[in-house]
Amino acid sequence: TRTHARTHTHTHTHTHTHTRIHTRIYKFVTHTFAREQVHFTSDCSAGNMNGAKCAACIAAVLFVLFAFVVKGTKSIICYKCNSKYDPRCGDPFNPYTIGLVDCNLTEVPSHLQGKEPVICRKTVQRIHSNIRIVRDCGYVEDPVHDDQDCYSRLGSHDIDVTHCSCTSDMCNGSTNIISNGSSYTIFVTIIATAAVYTAMGFFLNIQH
């Protein structure tokens, strides 16, 4: 029991740490982009930067954003908890009470070394009259079942296990976890789109 308590405390602290990290990253990116956009706009519009220098600055901003988007698409953010140690992990699930983890920053299970996290999982285990729900990162894709309805397998000793898997951020936080798209991808897409429109405005100002 003491071991389980220590394990849960470590996982819960680890989870909230990553949540704070992602919040800081989002704020840093959005604030930095907004600040630099104002600087570039004013400098280019006022003629304080020549066309080549202004274009170089725009290219640098777009390159950083592109790198951010590419790196972001390789990572998946999931809920990670176990209702045996934390009742809040069960259904009905309140996503605001459980922290998120960047699966790329979590420890890879020993039997999955060398693999990258690509999905979020939700497993419902029914053992006699007891129900345990586990939400975690997943490392093995299953094209047949990913982003589809959950499926069940009946094992021995009255053990019934329901498996759910999905490929978008935070998708294992609902009862039916069929993916509806990645909020993180939407976020970076908006930022990248704003950068493109800003760049177009810069070049139009240069031409005038």
CA distance 76 to 177: 15
Closest CA to 169 of 104, 86, 115, 110: 104
| pLDDT over threshold 50, residue 124 | yes
Share of the chain above pLDDT 90, in %: 32
For 178, residues 6+ apart whose C-beta sits below 8 A from its C-beta are: 147, 148, 149, 166, 171
What phi and psi, each to the nearest 5 degrees, are found at residue 134?
A: -120, 125
- CATH of 77-179, picked from 3.90.960.10, 2.10.60.10, 3.40.50.300, 3.90.1150.10, is 2.10.60.10
Six token digits for residue 180: 């509806």
Q: How many helices (H) and strands (E) does the chain have?
A: 3, 7
| pLDDT over threshold 50, residue 19 | no
For the stretch 139-151, pLDDT in tens is: 999 988 888 889 9
Using DSSP's 3-state secondary structure scheme, residue 143 falls into coil
Q: How confident is the model at residue 169 (pLDDT cuts 50, 70, 90)?
A: very high
Q: How confident is the model at residue 30 (pLDDT cuts 50, 70, 90)?
A: very low
The domain segmentation of the chain, as residue ranges, is 2-74+186-207, 77-179
Closest CA to 25 of 97, 87, 89, 100: 100
| pLDDT over threshold 90, residue 163 | yes
Predicted local distance difference test score (pLDDT) of residue 13 = 40
Six token digits for residue 164: 């759910």
| pLDDT over threshold 50, residue 206 | yes
Residue found by looking up tokens 């240069």 in the block: 206
Using DSSP's 3-state secondary structure scheme, residue 108 falls into coil
